């Protein structure tokens, strides 16, 4: 049953983009007589300005994240957190991924690949890892890009809310997987 749903959703997903690319102009041109080509070009003009406006924000965030990843700070943090994690039943094998997820998309995918290669896709560690990866987003990147695109520097409670949600997501991934597969 679940296999059918997953298969169906993933199969349907392949058609969504082509459908939008054709469906929206089709509605516009046939129902509302919109000059689709002219309007498209008018809207597309903003693509460049927005992409360029993001640069300084993305440089700031990605440099800090890159330094953090390269420094081995993650391992230090891991050692520091290990005793507390054991106490709440959080497998230390899954901690690097949980910490990396909000920082870097490619970094966390690399860590998930390591988990699958090391323990196999059937293992609890891999299942927890895949759940963590799929249930969260790269918070720092999203923040930099979205706020950067409108030149907002004062983000107020956005980061703390995002990181709390990431933490709850990671903990949920652990406990739900333990409950279902453990």
Partner 1 sequence: MLNYIWFGMMLFSVIAGIVTGRIDAVTEAAINMSKTAVEISIGLVGIMALWLGIMKIAEASGLIRIIARGLKPITVRLFPDVPADHPAIGSIVLNMSANMLGLGNAATPLGLKAMEELQELNPKKDTATNAMVMFLAINTSSVQIIVPATVVALMGVTTSQIFVPTLLATTASTVTAICMVKLLENRKMFSVESGS
Does position 122 interact with partner 1 (CB under 8 A)? The reply is yes
Does position 87 interact with partner 1 (CB under 8 A)? The reply is no
Taking the CA atoms of residue 165, residue 180, residue 117 and residue 7 in that order, the dihedral angle to the nearest 10 degrees is: -90
Out of 18, 19, 42, 86, the residue judged to bind partner 1 by CB under 8 A: 42
138 contacts 101 by C-beta, under 8 angstroms? yes
Out of 82, 89, 181, 182, the residue judged to bind partner 1 by CB under 8 A: 181
Q: Which is nearer to partner 1, 50 or 86 (CB)?
A: 50
Does position 75 interact with partner 1 (CB under 8 A)? The reply is yes
Residue 120 CB, shortest distance to partner 1, in Å, is: 9
Does position 82 interact with partner 1 (CB under 8 A)? The reply is no
Does position 155 interact with partner 1 (CB under 8 A)? The reply is yes
Phi-psi region of 91 (alpha: psi -120 to 50; beta: other; left: phi over 0): beta
DSSP string, 74-135: HHHHHHHHHHHHHHHT--GGGHHHHHHTTT-HHHHHHHHHHHHHHH-TTSHHHHHHHHHHHT
Residue 85 CB, shortest distance to partner 1, in Å, is: 18
132-151 residues in contact with partner 1 (CB under 8 A) are 132-139, 142-143, 145-147, 149-151
């Amino acid at each position: 049953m679940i296999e059918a749903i997953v298969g169906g959703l993933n199969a349907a997903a392949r058609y969504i983009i082509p459908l939008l690319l054709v469906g929206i102009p089709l509605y516009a041109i046939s129902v509302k007589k919109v000059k689709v080509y002219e309007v498209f070009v008018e809207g597309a003009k903003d693509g460049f300005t927005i992409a360029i406006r993001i640069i300084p924000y993305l440089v700031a965030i990605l440099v800090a994240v890159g330094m953090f990843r390269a420094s081995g700070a993650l391992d230090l943090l891991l050692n520091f957190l290990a005793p507390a994690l054991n106490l709440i039943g959080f497998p230390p094998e899954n901690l690097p991924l949980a910490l990396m997820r909000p920082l870097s998309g490619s970094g966390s995918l690399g860590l998930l690949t390591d988990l699958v290669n090391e323990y196999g896709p059937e293992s609890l560690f891999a299942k927890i890892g895949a759940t963590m990866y799929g249930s969260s987003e790269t918070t720092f990147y999203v923040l930099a890009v979205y706020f950067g695109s409108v030149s907002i520097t004062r983000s107020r409670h956005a980061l703390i809310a995002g990181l709390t949600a990431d933490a709850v997501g990671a903990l949920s991934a652990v406990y739900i997987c333990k409950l279902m597969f453990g």
